[in-house]
């Protein structure tokens, strides 16, 4: 229910430096942002009737550096817990070999709050790297994917 509330009342989509361009034609982009002044980007897509999620990390205007395609039913999501002024959600893409990529977004509950986001790189559950999205580049409807994961499980 929290995901439905978030999706319907707290849609954060800045679109300022929208990454775009990665998701397959028959899919829906639910998260994107850029890194390093727009040189690199990440996109998360829902595909195959919302049963598959695709993670793509790539050079803008260039090649894909990391792509992970996972069944939604096998993913981990961390929905907003409903407490506090900072709203955040994340989804985790297991990549094999003990590695995982956690994509997150968050924002203060105010009208002028900037949406933040990024990727946490995990090895055997421990964070080994963190990439923060360029300011103003986060375009997120990650709540939709979080909801699909909750339904599938």
CA 68 vs. chain centroid, Å, equals: 13
Q: Confidence band (pLDDT; 50, 70, 90) for 45?
A: very high
* pLDDT score of 13: 35
According to the model, what pLDDT value does residue 37 have?
95
Strand (E) or helix (H) holding 146: helix 142-152
Q: 12 Cβ partners below 8 Å, 6+ apart?
A: 105, 107, 115, 138, 140
Predicted local confidence at residue 26, as pLDDT? 84
Reported in sequence order, the residue ranges of 1-143 that DSSP labels E, i.e. its strands, are: 12-13, 28-35, 40-47, 52-59, 64-71, 76-78, 86-96, 99-108, 116-123, 126-132, 139-140
Task: Quote the mean pLDDT of the chain.
Answer: 86
The string of pLDDT tens digits covering residues 50-73 is 999 999 999 988 889 999 999 999
Helix (H, G, I), strand (E, B) or coil at 37: helix
Q: What is the C-alpha to C-alpha distance for residues 136 and 115, in angstroms, rounded to an integer?
A: 7
Residue 44 pLDDT > 60, yes or no?
yes
pLDDT of residue 20: 56
Burial class (CB in 10 A: 0-12, 13-18, 19+), 85: exposed
User: Which 3 state secondary structure label does DSSP give 142?
Assistant: helix
Provide the pLDDT confidence category of residue 153 given band limits of 50, 70 and 90.
confident
CA distance 18 to 7: 19
What is the arithmetic mean of pLDDT over 106-119?
A: 91
How many angstroms separate the Cα of 87 from the Cα of each of 13, 26, 47, 73? 14, 30, 26, 24
Say if residue 6's pLDDT is above 60: no
């Amino acid at each position: 229910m929290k995901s439905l509330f978030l999706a319907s009342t707290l849609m954060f989509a800045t679109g300022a430096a929208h990454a775009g361009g990665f998701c397959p034609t028959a899919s829906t982009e639910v998260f994107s942002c850029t890194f390093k002044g727009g040189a690199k980007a990440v996109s998360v897509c829902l595909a195959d009737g919302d049963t598959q999620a695709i993670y793509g990390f790539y050079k803008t205007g260039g090649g894909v550096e990391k792509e992970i395609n996972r069944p939604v039913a096998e993913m981990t999501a961390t929905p907003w817990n409903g407490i506090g002024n900072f709203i955040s959600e994340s989804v985790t893409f297991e990549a094999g070999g003990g590695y995982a990529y956690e994509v997150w977004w968050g924002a203060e509950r105010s009208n002028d709050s900037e949406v933040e986001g990024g990727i946490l790189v995990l090895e055997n559950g421990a964070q080994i790297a963190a990439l923060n999205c360029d300011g103003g580049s986060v375009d997120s409807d990650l709540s939709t994917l979080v909801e699909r994961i909750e339904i599938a499980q």
